[in-house]
Amino acid sequence: MAQLEDLMHEHFVDYASYFILDRAIPDIRDGLKPVQRRLLHTLFTMEDGRYHKVANAIGETMKLHPHGDASIADALVVLASKGYFIDGQGNFGNLLTGHPAAAPRYIECRLTPLAIETLFFRPLTEFVPSYDGRNEEPVFLPAKLPVILMLGTEGIAVGMSTKILPHNLTELWEAQIDLVNGRKVALFPDFPQGGLMDADAYDDGAGKVEVRARIKVRDPKHVVIEEIPYGTTTESIIASIEGAAQKGRLKIASIDDFTTDKVEIEITATRGVNAKELIPQLYAYTDCSVSISSNLNVIKDRRPAQMSVADILRELTERLTAQLKAELEYERGQLEDRQHWLTLEQIFVEERVYKRIEKAKTEDSVKKQVVTGMAKFEHLFVRPMVDDDVKRLLEIRIRRISAYDIEKNRKTIDDIVRAIKTINRKLKQMKKTTVDYIEGLIDRYGEQFPRRTAITRIEAVDKKAVATSNVKLAYDRGTGFFGSAVRGDMFRLNVTEFDLILGIANDGTYRVMTPVDKVFFTGKLIHCEVFDPEEGAEFVVVYRDKKKIAFAKRIKVLKFIRNKEYQLIKDRGGKVDYLLTPNDLGEVKLDFVPAKRQRVKGASFDLSTLELTSATARGARLAPKPVNKVKYTPAKASAKTTRSRPAAKKAAAAKKAPAAKKAPAAKKKTAAKKSSRKVSSTASSDEPEQGDLF
């Protein structure tokens, strides 16, 4: 088992290393994945100025590595869609609509002048054998462009991934000039689809950008999408719009797609909706606004590394300077070799050193005569003469010697000397040389790569503010269900998907809900409203528990967990008699449960005396005995009744006064007692019936 574990570990490490280094993550030196590198190298070896069938290019690339033809074709189409290195002829698909390219046998391609000028320099390219040893492939291309930032790339490897957003090439060149001159740089992505971008959170490649479609109001009933965000297509945009319309988030009548080489999606608003109202809703609910995160993982020194945009560009600028220096030194070496040979040839012909070999009879003596004859002019040599130089001089034919043009040879040598001096001057001023090279590229190619994505400040759309009341809720008393899938005739509400609804049942259960399809209340729903979580909802609750003990409390629903059921009554089995607002406080009158020898049959309680307490508290006890009936009297009605009682008593006394004068004194006392008991009994029997406010 241990051996098997070691074997699995070893093989997994090899697999992961291969996948990271040679498949998914680009190399910082040329910014290419291996399949892209092999493809571009193959096109360079095939380059003759004419177009090649893509199928032929795929076949030639497969000689370097057994990639599948489909993966090579996909890589070629992606590179061609970028517009930097591959010039395509035929149907290479549409980046805007997402339509695929035609079959490889129908389309053609070749390298662009920019690619030929900046990606290849065979003398300084390191090669390794291909997978079968029959061919050679480059380890990396000697690119003189910040390829990894201009192309942008995505890749998922084992345990890591990368997502590098594309940047504008001209801006990259200008930033490289700033880096060479010691200035700080700030770079932001640029997408081929255009659109609007807020890069405040880009954080030099470690954050994200917000990208939006460019939408224009054509008239009060129509809006037109003219540019789309990176990573979307017109088909995905339209699909997201249709999905939002089906959910009621957008009120549109139709969508028409007129996209060709430019995006044009026309949206018609429904009757009663202005086109301007659609724009924030499109940004809020569709793919017209997307957030794109950046994750810069690259291969550096055969190891994965996480870097920032500025660090990558600084590294590539230093590599550019080193590459230019190496090419200049190579070119100087070639010129010096040519100058050395032309100088030897000039001396050999002009000074008639070749005449000395006429006397020699052996091969060694011939070489000796050449060496001896040339030694007199050693001070004119560019470098010491070697055996290969002697051999080459002896290979000069008589026809060339007889037709030798002395003046032309001297002029050629002078041109070479001037070229070498120019190269030496450039090598001494590598900063200026690098800047001049980049400026030359900007002059030749800068106009081909304008910025497409506009950088702006994007204000976040408040989805709650632009939401429409597209969710219809109702309560069915018969089933006890409440929600958007319920057909009921009570508590009908039109709400948005972001609203919260407070529902309270007469058994004391309540919950703060999102707009749900269906939820069941064990008790009868007595209150339902759209709930504001910031302000909360305040109530006065009058209830009786299962022992018919009456309580009242003033509460405020503020803290809650969505869709969780809470209890207003501590002991289950009770019932809410009244649910009042703080502005409608009055008096409750209580009718006790009849009992033997009960003299006090009722009581009253002023609800305005209640203080705010928690929703889970029991509350104030309203009476010491079980209550049979509870009657609520509003504050105004209670005050009116209180004010009228003295007047009623006076009227009753006035009516009874004559009868009292005729009766004896003892009878007066008895009558007074009976009258008092009668009033008390009447007051008790006139208690109002129990009822609900909601």
Q: Which of 10-14, 106-110, 296-300, 540-544 has the largest mean confidence?
A: 106-110
Three-class DSSP category at 146:
coil
Which of these, 235, 270, 266, 229, lies nearest to 252 by C-alpha position? 270
User: How many other CB atoms sit within 10 Å of the CB of residue 294?
Assistant: 21
DSSP for 50-103 reads S-EEHHHHHHHHTTTS---HHHHHHHHHHHHHHTSSEEEES----TTT-PPPPP
Which distant-in-sequence residues (6+ apart) come within 8 Å of 93 by Cβ?
Answer: 77, 81, 99, 100, 101
Helix axes 169-180, 430-445, angle to 10 degrees: 160
The C-alpha atoms of residue 34 and residue 40 are separated, in whole angstroms, by 10
Considering only residues 534 and 180, tell me which one the structure prediction assigns the higher pLDDT: 180
* CB neighbourhood size of 171 (10 A): 19
Distance (Å, whole) CA 189 – CA 197: 9
How far is CA 124 from each of CA 11, 127, 129, 139, 580, rounded to the nearest angstrom?
35, 10, 16, 11, 88
Q: Which of 454, 445, 438, 447 is nearest to 174 (CA)?
A: 438
The Cα–Cα gap between 441 and 201 comes to 31
Residue 335 CA to residue 417 CA, distance in Å, equals 8
Segment 401-426 mean pLDDT? 89
289-293 and 136-138 strand pairing: unpaired
Average pLDDT over residues 325-340: 94
Main-chain dihedrals φ then ψ at residue 663, nearest 5 degrees: -80, 155
Could you report the per-residue pLDDT of 26-55, keeping only the tens digit for each?
889 999 989 999 999 999 999 999 999 999
pLDDT score, position 547: 87
What is d(CA 94, CA 442) in angstroms, rounded to the nearest whole number? 28
Confidence of residue 329 (pLDDT cuts 50, 70, 90): very high
CA distances from 205 to 2, 308, 318 (A): 44, 5, 20
Q: What is the pLDDT of residue 247?
A: 84
Please report which confidence band the pLDDT of residue 463 belongs to, taking 50, 70 and 90 as the band edges: low
Separation CA 175–CA 155 (nearest Å): 26
Residues with Cβ within 8 Å of residue 249, at least 6 apart in sequence: 281, 284, 285, 467, 468, 470, 497
563: left (phi over 0), alpha (psi -120 to 50) or beta: left
Looking at residue 39, its pLDDT comes to 95
Q: Which amino acid is at 178?
A: D
Kindly list the catalytic residues: 106
pLDDT given for residue 320 in this prediction: 96
Question: What number of residues does the chain have?
Answer: 694
Contact in structure between 94 and 80 (CB atoms under 8 Å): no
**Could you tell me the end-to-end alpha-carbon distance of the chain, in angstroms, rounded to an integer?**
73
Average pLDDT, the chain: 85
Nearest to 149 by CA among 307, 260, 287, 325: 307
Q: Mean of the pLDDT values across residues 420-436?
A: 95
| Residue 478 pLDDT exceeds 60 | yes
> Tens digit of pLDDT for each residue in 574-595?
899 998 888 878 888 988 888 8
Contact 548, 627 (CB under 8 A): yes
Predicted confidence band of residue 460 (pLDDT cuts 50, 70, 90): low
Least confident of 173-182, 511-520, 649-658: 649-658
- pLDDT, tens only, 286-306: 999 999 999 999 988 888 889
- Of these ranges, 128-142, 394-408, 558-572, the one predicted with the greatest mean pLDDT is 128-142
Share of the chain above pLDDT 70, in %: 89
C-alpha distances in angstroms, 546 versus 17, 24, 132, 549, 623?
A: 71, 69, 88, 7, 15
More confident residue, 645 or 433: 433
Q: Which two tokens stand for residue 460?
A: 């976040």
In angstroms, what CA-CA distances link 471 with 87, 250, 479, 498, 558?
52, 13, 21, 10, 24
Q: Nearest-5° angle of CA 92, CA 94, CA 95?
A: 115
pLDDT digit string (tens) for 636-677? Answer: 654 444 444 444 444 444 444 444 344 444 443 333 333 332
Relative orientation angle of helices 275-285 and 234-246, to the nearest 10 degrees: 100
Residues 581/555, Cβ–Cβ less than 8 Å? no
- How far, in Å, CA of 605 to CA of 622, rounded? 6
What's at 577, amino acid-wise? Answer: D
CATH 3.90.199.10 residue spans of the chain: 20-143
CB within 8 Å of 638: residues ≥ 6 apart:
586, 587
pLDDT attached to residue 466 = 66
The pLDDT of residue 694 is above 70: no
Contacts of residue 487, defined as CB under 8 A and 6 or more positions apart, other chains included, come to 474, 476
Tokens of residue 615, six digits: 């929703």
Q: Is the pLDDT of residue 85 over 60?
A: yes
Contacts of 383 (CB under 8 A, 6+ apart): 336, 340
Q: What is the CATH number of domain 20-143?
A: 3.90.199.10
Please say if the pLDDT value at position 101 is more than 80.
yes
CA dist., res. 658 & res. 445, Å (int):
122
CA 74 – CA 70 distance, rounded (Å) = 6
Burial of 83 (0-12, 13-18, 19+ CB in 10 A): middle
Q: Residue 243: which H helix or E strand, with range?
A: helix 234-246
Residue with tokens 């700033």, as numbered in its chain: 178
Which pTM does this prediction carry?
0.74
* Structure tokens, 283: 């940004």
What per-residue confidence (pLDDT) applies to 242?
A: 93
Long-range (24+ apart) CB contacts under 8 A made by 9-16 are 15/158, 16/157, 16/158, 16/159
pLDDT given for residue 1 in this prediction: 58
As a whole number of angstroms, the distance between CA 240 and CA 165 comes to 23
Alpha-carbon dihedral sign for residues 524, 528, 533, 538: negative
Report d(CA 28, CA 443) in Å as an integer: 26
Q: Is the predicted pLDDT of residue 691 greater than 50, yes or no? A: no
* Helices 406-428, 430-445: inter-axial angle, 10-degree rounding: 100
Query: What is the mean predicted confidence (pLDDT) over 518-530?
Result: 90
Contact 91, 54 (CB under 8 A): no
Mark 99-120 as b/e (b = at least 16 C-beta within 10 Å). Answer: eebeebeebbbbbbebbeebbb
